[in-house]
Every structure is written in structure tokens, then in C-alpha cells.
Amino acid sequence: MTKINKPSITKELDYAKNLLTDEVFSLFSDEIKRNFLYPYYDRYLVTLEAILPHLIGNKDVKILDVGAGGGIIPLVLKKMGYSVTAIDTWEEYSKAYNYVKAVGVKEDIIERFDICGVQTKYCDIEKESFPFENQSFDIVLFLAVIEHLHSSPKKVLKEIERVLAPNGILVLETPNHANLRNRLYLLFGKSVGTELFNWFNREPFFEHVREYTLDEVKKMLAWTGFEVKRVELDDHSHTRLIKDFKSEPLKLIALLIYLLLTKLVPKFRYQMTIVGQKK
């Protein structure tokens, strides 16, 4: 894909930001915007920054979002004029969250995609092959999904590699298991896994099953036919707590020290966005 200069990316990112807040967020209720969308606004921007260099100047790019869920990024990309397909079972969202109702209409999550022009296919990605021919897509998004898989990600990653065109791009986003919070928890003898009560009692279980370190993700991508082209580690999920802790000085000081350490040591940060290219 053609290399794009920085001003072009900045301009396209500004356009994506406006679509994100003015058009995509408006499809959801105030409750969902407040609790699930605005708190992750900065993370959406990191994801878009990873994707946009591979889109600009080519409206013929075909994009697949694997495990799309509520589909914030696919909705933005579709509104930017790109061809986007989403696959999922959407079981988690229909059972556990109020993502399914669009504002002002009765349509569920699939119908919201339909209204916006995002194509959808039902697929249990852990059990089924993707319903597409080989080399059908130029870009595959795999955002905040790998940590929820109940079995090895090998099958899913091989399917992603299969449906990607030669030199196609994979954008993978997942928590960093080696983040500073987890290191501190282990230091003091606390578990870094899912909260025990939820793991013990929740059925079906939709939370994080296994998180990965950066080195582990790199190895899995190499094993399944990808070359890592870009790594971005961020701590936006912790940065947004500054506002919440303003009324609690001790917590705020501890958080600022935490963020200073993660700034100095990127591998301590919470979130990873990795861009891989099919070899």
C-alpha cells in the first residue's frame, strides 16, 4: 500500500474524530455513550491512527472486523466511505450489555449495521471457518477479542491470514498482560486474572480468559504468517481515571506516579495495538 505523508494522515484522523463523536456515538443511548463510549474515546483514536495509513488514497480497500461487537470502528470506517464487513455471534452483547438498541428506533445491533451499510455475517470464530474465500480482504481488524477466546487463538489467526490478500494488514488490539498494575498485584500476592467471583459464577463467561504479553503476541503472529510492522502501547484506560481521583489526593498522587513509570517504561503500559503484515 502507498505510503502517505503525515499531513494527510492528520487530516484524515481529524475527519474520523468528527465522525466518531458527531455521527457514530449519536447512534447509541446517552447511557451507553457515558459508560462505554466516551471513556474509551482515546483508545478508539489509537486504533484509527494504526489503521488510517493503510487506507488513505484507496477507497477500494476491503476491511473485515473479526469479533466486531458493538462495531464502533467499523461504523466510523464505513462512514468514511470504505467497504466494511463485520463477523461475530453477538451473543455477548445480546445477553450481557445494552448495546443492542439504536437510538430512536427498535432495531438491534445487526440492523444498526445494516442501516449504516456495514455488511454482517454470523460466525462463531472459535468453531467455524470464516464464511469468505481466500484473500478476500485487504485489512482485518481483531480488536479486544483475542483475550476473550476460550481456546487457542491459532485457528482464528490462521483464518485471518487465509482471508487476507498478499501483503494484507492485520490490526490487533489487546491488553498487555505484563502491565505495571499486574506486576504490582503479583508482587503483593494478588491474582491478575479475572475477578474470582465472576469466573466462578458467571455462565456463559464473557470476560478475559487469557491475556498476553507483547512478546507472546509477536510470536503468535510470526507463527501464523505475519511480520510485525508497528507496535503502540498506551495507558489511556488509566489516564482517564485522573478526573475520577481529583477528589481523592492520595489516589491521585499514586496514579500520577504510576503513569510516570509507564511513560518511562512503555512495556508497563496497559494496552497494545499491533499492526502485522501478511508475509
Determine the pLDDT at residue 178.
Answer: 97
In total, the chain counts a number of residues equal to: 279
Mean pLDDT of 177-181: 97
Q: Write out pLDDT tens, residues 49-59.
A: 999 999 988 88
Domain boundaries, the chain: 6-174+205-235+270-278
Cβ atoms of residues 66 and 140 within 8 Å: yes
Determine the pLDDT at residue 7.
Answer: 63
- Residue 207 CA to residue 44 CA, distance in Å, equals 20
Percent of the chain with pLDDT over 90: 74
Runs of H (alpha helix) within 37-148: 41-51, 72-79, 91-96, 109-116
In this prediction, residue 18 has a pLDDT band, given cuts at 50, 70 and 90, of: very high
Q: What is the mean pLDDT of the chain?
A: 90
Give the burial class of 265: count Cβ atoms within 10 A of its Cβ; 0-12 exposed, 13-18 middle, 19 or more buried. Answer: exposed
Q: Write out pLDDT tens, residues 236-248.
A: 988 888 988 989 9
pLDDT at residue 208 tops 50: yes
In the β-sheet with 119-122, what is the strand arrangement from edge to edge?
A: 119-122, 83-88, 62-66, 137-143, 164-175, 271-278, 226-234
Mean pLDDT of 104-117: 75
Residue 200's SS3 state is: helix
Mean pLDDT of 40-53: 94
pLDDT at residue 4 tops 80: no
Mean pLDDT of 169-175: 98
H or E segment to which residue 84 belongs? strand 83-88
Q: Full-prediction pTM beyond 0.85?
A: yes
pLDDT at residue 105 tops 80: no
Cβ atoms of residues 117 and 157 within 8 Å: no
In this prediction, residue 8 has a pLDDT band, given cuts at 50, 70 and 90, of: confident
pLDDT at residue 211 tops 50: yes
CATH of region 6-174+205-235+270-278, choose from 1.10.3720.10, 3.40.50.2300, 1.10.760.10, 3.40.50.150:
3.40.50.150
- Residue 209 CA to residue 200 CA, distance in Å, equals 12
